[in-house]
Structure 1
Amino acid sequence: MTKLITDIKEMQALMNQYKLDGKTIGFVPTMGALHFGHQTLMKKAKAENDIVAISVFVNPTQFLPGEDFESYPRQIDKDVMTASAVDVDYVFHPSVEDMYPDLDRLPITLKVHEQAEVLEGVKRPGHFDGVVMVVNKLFNIVKPNKAYFGKKDAQQLAIIETMVENFNHDIEICGVDIVRQADGLAESSRNVYLTESERLEAPALYQSLQLAKSLFDQGERRSAILIDTIEKYLTEHTSGKIDEVEIYTYPSLKKAATIEEQVFISIAVKFSKARLIDNIIIK
C-alpha cells in the first residue's frame, strides 16, 4: 500500500533505515498531476529496486514571475491513487515552507552555467538553477540508488547528469524514453491546458520531428535544412506559435550546424494556454 509522507525528517529516517537494511531505493521526482508517462518511470523504478519513492512537489524556485506556479495542477489525492496503481511504496509530498524555510531570500543557491545558456534556459533564465536546487535537496532527503527522469526534458536530463557528476552524488541517473499517446503527443501535465482543437493539432510536434529524422536517415546532415522542414510543417499544421526549433549536441548542449555526433532536436510551440515541448535524439 502506498504511504503518503509529508515530513522531511520522517522521510529521511525511513529511507536511511532501508539503506541500513541493504535495500535499494528507486526515486522519481515529480511536480504531480501524474499521468501515464510518470507511471512508466515508476514501473521501471519498481522493476529495478526494492523500494520506490516518488516526490510530488511543485517547486517555486524553478518558476519565473508570470509563469503558472499558482495555477499548476495540484491533485495530491489523485496522485497517490495513480502511484498506488503501480505499487509505489512512498509518495513524498512536503510543503513549500518545509523545503524552503527562507524562500524570500534563499541564503544559498546553485547556478547552472553553459548548459543553461541555450534552449529553455534562455527562455526561462534561472529555471534550471531552481531545478538543480530542488533535485539536490530531494536527493539528500531520499538518498536513492537510482533516480528516473523522462527524456522529454532532454536539457534538464543533461543538466542533472552533470550535476550528479560534479557534486559526487552516488546515484545512477536513468533516462527513460518519452511516453506518447496513441497519436504521438508526448505525455505532459500541461496537456490539460489544450483546447479541443489544439489537442487535435498537438501531435504535429512529433510528426515534424519524425519528418526531420526521415531526412536525416536519407543522408541530410545540415541542421538548417532540418530546422526549416520542421518549422514549415508546424506552421502548416498547427495554430500555435513556434517558440523554438534547435539542434544541439547531446549531452554537451552545443549548437550543431551539421550533424556529426549524437544530437537532439528540440521544439517548443505556444498554444493559447500551453507551451508544449518535444524532442528526438538522433545518433
Structure 2
Amino acid sequence: MIVVTTVDDLRTALRDRAGRSVGFVPTMGALHRGHLELLHRARAENDVVVLSVFVNPAQFNDPADLAAYPRTDEADRAHAEQAGVDIYFAPTAEAVYPPGFSATVALSGPIVETFEGARRGAGHFHGVTTVVTKLFGMVRPDRAYFGQKDAQQLRVVRAMVADLNIDVRIVDVPTVREPDGLALSSRNVRLSADERATALGLSRALTAGEAAHRRGVTAAEIVLAAELVLSEFGVNPEYLAVVDDADFRQLHEVPPPGSVLIVAAEVGRTRLIDNVVLT
C-alpha cells in the first residue's frame, strides 16, 4: 500500500492507471466495518483502490464537533492495508484548501436545505460537494463508493455528479449494522453503555416503520409507528420523516416503493442518524 499526502504524489502513484479501473472510497477516517464494506466492494470491482482520509472542516458547522471527531490514523492505515487498498491518500487541510482557495460547489433547493441541511445549515452540504468534487478531480475514479446510512448526502452527491456531468459512477452500499441492529458510525465510540442501549431505539423505530409500511398505511402512520418506539426508548427525535428519494421532499400519503424513512436524534451528547428504504 502506498501512502501519500499531497496531490502531486497521488497523481504520481496513479500515473500508470491507463486501462485500469480505479475505485475510490472517500472517508473522514475512524474506519469501522461499514467503511471496510465499501473497500471490499471497491476491491472486488476495480483494478486499483484509492482510499482518502480527510476530516473536512468545511462540512462542520460546530467547531466543537470538528475538534471531537475521532482521528485514528494508525489504525486506519492497518485496516486499509488489510482491506487491500492500493493508495492511502491522507491530505492536510492546506493540500485540499491551499492559500487563496475561494471556490465553492453549491447545490440549491430542498435537497440541501431540509433535514440535515436544516439542522447543520446548507453550508454543510456545500462543504461536502466542494470537497467531493475536489477529490474526484484529484483521483479521477471510475467508481466511487458511499454508504446508504448517509442517505441525504448520497442523494446530494448523485445530484452533483449529474448536474456537473462528472464522469464517475456512484455506487451505494447498504448500511452495515451490529447484530442488535445499531448502525455502525464513527460517532458510536462516544456512547456510554447506557447511551448505546438508548441508541438502539433508532433502528428499532425504523423496523417498526417498515412493518407499518408493509401494511400499506400512509407515511404519517409510518412515522407514528416509529415515534412510539422512539418514545419507549426515551429518544426525542430531531427529525423523523418519510421522504421521496429523488428530492427528499417529505411525504404524508402512502409512499411509493423506494421512499426512505429517516431519523436523527441526539443520544447523550452524540448525534446519530439512520434510515431505511421502504421497498
TM-score, normalised via structure 2 length: 0.95
Distance 1:12 1:259 in 2: 49
Query: By how many angstroms is 1:264 displaced?
Result: 0.4
2:151 to 121, 129, 154: 154
State whether structure 2 residue 139 is matched by structure 1 residue 142: yes
Task: Kindly indicate whether the alpha-carbon contact (under 8 Å) linking 1:12 and 1:142 is maintained by their aligned counterparts in 2.
Answer: yes
Q: Given the superposition, is the C-alpha separation of residues 271 and 10 from structure 1 closer, same or farther in structure 2, using an over 3 Å criterion?
A: same
CA RMSD of aligned residues (A): 1.3
2:229 to 214, 233, 238: 233
Query: By how many angstroms is 1:12 displaced?
Result: 1.8
Aligned to 2:239: 244
Post-superposition CA distance 1:250-279 (Å, at most 9, x none):
122111111342210100110122111100
Number of corresponding residues: 276
State whether structure 2 residue 8 is matched by structure 1 residue 3: no
Task: Kindly indicate whether the alpha-carbon contact (under 8 Å) linking 1:15 and 1:143 is maintained by their aligned counterparts in 2.
Answer: no
Distance 1:65 1:106 in 2: 21
1:129 to 92, 112, 126: 126
Distance 1:160 1:30 in 2: 14
Q: Secondary structure at the match of 2:16?
A: helix
Q: Given the superposition, is the C-alpha separation of residues 8 and 162 from structure 1 closer, same or farther in structure 2, using an over 3 Å criterion?
A: same
Distance 2:71 2:63 in 1: 18
Distance 1:213 1:164 in 2: 30
Task: Kindly indicate whether the alpha-carbon contact (under 8 Å) linking 2:22 and 2:143 is maintained by their aligned counterparts in 1.
Answer: yes
Post-superposition CA distance 1:11-63 (Å, at most 9, x none):
02322431x2x110000000000000000000000000001011000000000
Aligned to 2:200: 203
Post-superposition CA distance 1:64-110 (Å, at most 9, x none):
134411121111111000111111111100000111113xx752212
Task: Give runs of aligned pairs for residues 156-171 of structure 1, distance below 5 A.
Answer: 156-171=153-168
Task: Kindly indicate whether the alpha-carbon contact (under 8 Å) linking 1:119 and 1:246 is maintained by their aligned counterparts in 2.
Answer: no
Distance 2:246 2:51 in 1: 25
Distance 1:91 1:141 in 2: 13
Distance 2:138 2:81 in 1: 21
State whether structure 2 residue 102 is matched by structure 1 residue 107: yes
TM-score, normalised via structure 1 length: 0.94
Aligned to 1:72: 69
Counterpart AA for 2:225: T
Counterpart AA for 2:224: D
State whether structure 2 residue 258 is matched by structure 1 residue 275: no
Distance 1:129 1:66 in 2: 17
